[in-house]
Amino acid sequence: ELLSTDIADWTITFAQTGIESPIGERLRRVRHHLDGDEMFLANYADVLTDAPLPEMIDNFARRDAGASMMVVPPQSSFHCVDLGEDGLVGGITAVSDMPLWENGGYFVLRQEVFDHIPENGDLVADGCAQLAKRGRLVAHQHRGFWKPTDTVKERAALDEAYARGDRPWAVWERDNAGVSV
């Protein structure tokens, strides 16, 4: 069932790219479906977010870069320990209080990224890392809702939030003013 009819000009292709293939290799295997598009999107399918993708695309389109990676503040509740060689702890800092950003799993890419992904290569470790070394990778900082569903605990928390109507990732449920309908 379609939620809306704004996809009339879309082409959706389901492709078997190999269950053990790294993400970079999966993209390489579907490259021929891009029909030479200048820009295309890729994402990890196990993340929910309210990130404004049109804004991310527009910002990237104005940049001279090969890729844009959405980055988010660390989600971990862990602490980093400053440990001296003598085993003494010099300090403890919550990861969330550190000036760090995590890969948020949403990308706007140009064909150039394929020049940096070897056979069986990874999008981030190979493609994005090489673009970063060349000054061709930009970040789109997102401070809004972003949650992974990597663990049973994370999935259960999101299922519970959904059941009680707390689903900020469901941007299609909002009206033009951003209010849930």
Q: How do the pLDDT tens digits run along the chain, 181 residues long? A: 556 667 778 778 899 999 999 999 999 999 999 888 999 999 988 999 999 999 999 999 999 999 999 999 998 889 999 999 999 999 999 998 999 999 999 999 999 999 999 999 999 999 999 999 999 999 999 999 999 999 999 999 999 999 999 999 999 887 665 665 5
- Show Cβ contacts of residue 134 under 8 Å, excluding neighbours closer than 6 positions: 66
pLDDT, residue 55, reads 95
Which helix or strand (DSSP H or E) is residue 8 part of?
none
- CATH code given to domain 23-148: 3.90.550.10
pLDDT, residue 176, reads 61
Q: Which residues pair with 42 in a beta bridge?
A: 107
Looking at residue 112, what DSSP letter applies? G
pLDDT, residue 28, reads 96
* CA pair distance 181, 67, nearest whole angstrom: 35
Phi-psi region of 24 (alpha: psi -120 to 50; beta: other; left: phi over 0): alpha
pTM: 0.86
- Phi, psi at residue 140, to the nearest 5°? -110, 105
Handedness of CA 18, 138, 147, 177 (dihedral sign): negative
Give residue limits of the domains in the chain: 23-148
**Residue count of the chain:** 181
